[in-house]
Structure 1
Amino acid sequence: MLKILLNTSSLFLLLTALPLSAQEVTLAHETLNHKILTLNAEMKLAENSQLSDGVMLITHGTLAHNKMEVISTFQNLLADAGINTLAINLSLGINNRHGMYDCKVPHQHKHTDAIEEINAWLSWLQQQGAGNITLMGHSRGGNQTAWFSDSHPDQLIKAQILLAPATWSEKAEQDNYQTSYGKSLSTLLSDAQRAQPNTWMEHVDFIYCADSRVKADSFVDYYQANPKFNTPYLLKQTTIPTLVISGSEDKTVSDLPEMMTNVSNPLVQHIEIEGADHYFRDLYADEAVESIIEFLDNQE
């Protein structure tokens, strides 16, 4: 269910009147449990461009937001290259959320919520008359983007760009949790799976947030063993032209280049930017955008 909060004609006037300036847009989204949340996103149109010329929908990483440096940098560089972008802010269960997620706020969001929110924004763009739509995601957002594409093959997506997308293996997840928190993930996961979905788990270490309050079904959704958390797994059968960009100095998804060697799909390209870390800072972002432009030009 979508409720558009901006009149369509007003939106076009707003966005075309101020070239190269970012404007926040919102929509009302009904969640799977029938809660209405206001979602927000940052729209940036290139000079002398409009939505009908096409747009790239960008999803940020874990517990982050759409104005973090890596997202803002890519929006600006893409606008300079003539590409319109919509950088969405995942709600993480919070109405009209802005900024980083505060770990003091109880967690009742799910990794898979992003799939429905990407779909909501895609539908919104289509209602606004957007032309070719490309998807982009960074880190966990890259995995969620690929997961969306995998679960919505009927959607008309021109291509997807995955910046340092998340990788996963059950052993690595368990080892990382043990290293970070000195606790057994499998024990906590078993507890969460046995609990009623809406049960609150107290003093639980969750993602990057220590000593948190977390819904049992949220804990299960983020930590249950599922190969779809591993982005290269999703790309083996994708039918969407895909560019994966990794950084040689990325310590967050350091195994991404190795895992990509297992993807034998002619629609998937992988490039590694020498010297770039997980956030493609400074000139590494320029290099990434040059690769993106070349990739998209080849899809024409």
Structure 2
Amino acid sequence: MTLLPRFTGVVAFSLFAAFSSLHAEEVSVKQGDIELRGELTLADGKTAKDGVILMQHGTLAHNKMEIMQTLSELLKEKGYNTLNVNLSYAIDKRPSEMLDCSIEHKHKHEDAVAELDTWMNWLKEQGASKVVLLGHSRGGNQVSWAASEKDSDLLEKVVAVAPATWDAADSAKEYEERYKKPLADLMTEATKLAGEGKGAEIMTLPGFVYCENAKAAADSVVSYYKDDERKNTPSLLPKIKKPMLIVMGSADEVVADLPAKLEGIKQDNLTVETVDGADHFFMDLYADEVADKVAEFVDWK
């Protein structure tokens, strides 16, 4: 269950006043026993009332990885506020660094959807008048998932940059090629444990997501590897009612199947743009082009 931020009354007003005078600020909000972290960056002369672009990073990454920081800085220069959030991965006050593969993984893919909802509520408490959800890679899928299931008057638009695709058969094939063990065997065990109410039990695995020789809860294994079409961003598009922008890189080998999966989708609220020559991370000048496309799409000026 998503909990509302623990900021009310005078506290919320004081925070809003502080944000009005700062360009960037480390912020946090409670969700159950976990404290979520983020960085709020305000453009010159702007406050949260002018709207905020809520940004979600990709797989096992963090809010200060290059693409997220660069986009935040470029959007600030264009007059847009951003809240660059750091997914917790079930860790209290998780630092802004790549997730340590040696931990016991107790997080789920869909945790991000609940955390984005918590941040949306937090922004509402701060007086934000409108919010755009923006996500990169797996984060692009997660903001799309959130928009498809947790739409609100506060949410105005959605931006997915190189959003994740999903195919269960391909995932199983890639897992066996990489980790030399059939995924089906592990999923059978994990699903059995979860069905018996033992989803928190830690399994020893040859690999989990990008981590070799990993330890992960059965519920986590089921979440990341079960056949769920919601992990395939194109499958979510018919359920998203707000204007949406998808930005792809023509040289992206991570979600190479994205263009083909988008070919048959025609929606009046969907815009698809391609950055010629860019790979999955839109380095250097490619990031400028992404920021230009986002600013033009958001169009808050």
TM over 0.5: yes
Give the structure 1 partner of residue 239 of structure 2: 237
Q: How does 1:211-250 map to 2 (within 5 A)?
A: 211-250=213-252
- Which amino acid in the other structure matches residue 142 of structure 1? G
Deviates more, 1:175-184 or 1:130-139: 175-184
Q: Does 1:12 align with 2:9?
A: no
1:239 alignment partner, SS class: coil
Distance in structure 1 (CA, Å) of the matches to 2:120 and 2:126:
10
- Which amino acid in the other structure matches residue 78 of structure 1? L
Give the structure 2 partner of residue 33 of structure 1: none
Q: Does 1:38 align with 2:38?
A: no
Q: Report the Cα offset of residue 117 of structure 1.
A: 0.3
The alignment of Structure 1 onto Structure 2 pairs a total of residues equal to 292
TM-score by length of 2: 0.93
Unaligned runs of 5+ in 1: 31-35
Q: How does 1:145-294 map to 2 (within 5 A)?
A: 145-195=143-193, 196-294=198-296
Compare relative contact order (CA 8 Å, sep 6+) and give the higher one, 1 or 2.
2
Q: Does 1:85 align with 2:85?
A: no
2:223 alignment partner, SS class: helix
Q: Report the Cα offset of residue 126 of structure 1.
A: 0.4
Deviates more, 1:288-297 or 1:120-129: 288-297
Contact 2:25–2:40 (8 Å) recurs in 1 = yes
1:236 alignment partner, SS class: helix
Contact 1:16–1:49 (8 Å) recurs in 2 = yes
Distance in structure 2 (CA, Å) of the matches to 1:290 and 1:167:
24
- Which amino acid in the other structure matches residue 234 of structure 2? P
Distance in structure 1 (CA, Å) of the matches to 2:133 and 2:285:
22
Deviates more, 1:138-147 or 1:150-159: 150-159
Distance in structure 2 (CA, Å) of the matches to 1:8 and 1:237:
33
Contact 2:158–2:245 (8 Å) recurs in 1 = yes
Distance in structure 1 (CA, Å) of the matches to 2:153 and 2:110:
18
Distance in structure 2 (CA, Å) of the matches to 1:173 and 1:260:
19
Distance in structure 2 (CA, Å) of the matches to 1:9 and 1:239:
32
- Which amino acid in the other structure matches residue 177 of structure 2? T
Alpha-carbon distance change, 132 to 222 in structure 1, aligned in 2, over 3 angstroms: same
2:104 alignment partner, SS class: coil
Moved over 6 A (4+): none
TM-score by length of 1: 0.94
Distance in structure 2 (CA, Å) of the matches to 1:3 and 1:161:
24
Distance in structure 1 (CA, Å) of the matches to 2:153 and 2:59:
25
Distance in structure 2 (CA, Å) of the matches to 1:239 and 1:183:
41
Q: Report the Cα offset of residue 155 of structure 1.
A: 4.9
Distance in structure 1 (CA, Å) of the matches to 2:137 and 2:124:
25
Q: Report the Cα offset of residue 10 of structure 1.
A: 2.7
Give the structure 1 partner of residue 142 of structure 2: 144
Q: Report the Cα offset of residue 38 of structure 1.
A: 0.5
2:105 alignment partner, SS class: coil
Deviates more, 1:149-158 or 1:168-177: 149-158
Distance in structure 2 (CA, Å) of the matches to 1:279 and 1:68:
10
